[in-house]
Amino acid sequence: MDAVRIGLVSCSDRASSGVYADQGLPSLRTWLTQALRNPVTFEERLIPDERSAIAATLRSLVDEVACDLVLTTGGTGPAPRDVTPDATLDVADREMPGFGEQMRQISLRFVPTAILSRQVAVIRGRALILNLPGQPKAIAETLGGLEGTPGIFAAVPYCLDLLGGPYLETDATVCKAFRPKSALRPPAG
C-alpha cells in the first residue's frame, strides 16, 4: 500500500499566538486518520494569517517536504486578515474550482453565509492543495459529505492518481473514493 505525506496547515493569528487552542489541525488529522487506509505521515504547521508566510509554508510543504496533499484550515472569509485563498493562488500552477464550489454547496445547507467563503483548490507540481473551512464540524462535513451530497475527499484519490501521486485507499464507511473502473486497483491485503 502506498505511503502518503500530507501537509496540514492551520492559519490563525489567535491560535498561533496562543490566545486559544487550535482546533483545525486535530480535526483534519482525526478525519484523515479515520478515512485513509494508507500509511500517512503528517506535516503540521500552525501559522498566523500572513499571506507571505502562508505562501512560503505551502511552497515548503510541496517543494521541500514533498507532500502529496496539503490541506489548510482557516482564513477563507472576506475579512481583511482572511488571506489563505490569496496565498494559495500565489503558489498555484493550476486551479481546481470544483472543490471550492462543492464545499460551498455543502456549507450552504447549514448557513446562508457560506456564500462568503472563498475556499480554493490548486495544483502545485504534483501536489493538490485544498483550503477548508475553520470549524471542526464544517471540516468533517466538507471532506466526508452529507446524505445525498458527496464530500470533496471522494475525488481526492483519483485527482492524486492523475497527478502521478500515491494510490490512496479509503475506508468506505468514512468516505468512498470515486474512481472510474479503469483506474481501480485490487484492495491491498
Q: Indicate the domain borders of the chain.
A: 4-183
Cα atoms in the Cβ-side hemisphere of radius 13 Å centred on 14: 11
pLDDT value of position 112? 92
Total-model pTM: 0.96
Based on C-alpha coordinates, what's the Rg of the chain?
15
Q: Could you give the percent of the chain with pLDDT greater than 90?
A: 91
**What b/e string do you get for 138-150 counting C-beta neighbours within 10 Å, with b at 16 or more?**
bbbbbbbbeeeeb
3-class DSSP assignment, residue 40: strand
97-154 residue pLDDT tens: 999 999 999 999 988 999 999 999 999 999 999 999 989 999 999 999 988 888 999 9
Answer for the pair 144, 175: CB distance below 8 angstroms, yes or no. yes
CATH superfamily of 4-183: MoaB/Mog-like domain (3.40.980.10)
Mean pLDDT computed over 87-94? 98
Contacts of 43 (CB under 8 A, 6+ apart): 5, 6, 7, 8, 61, 65, 67
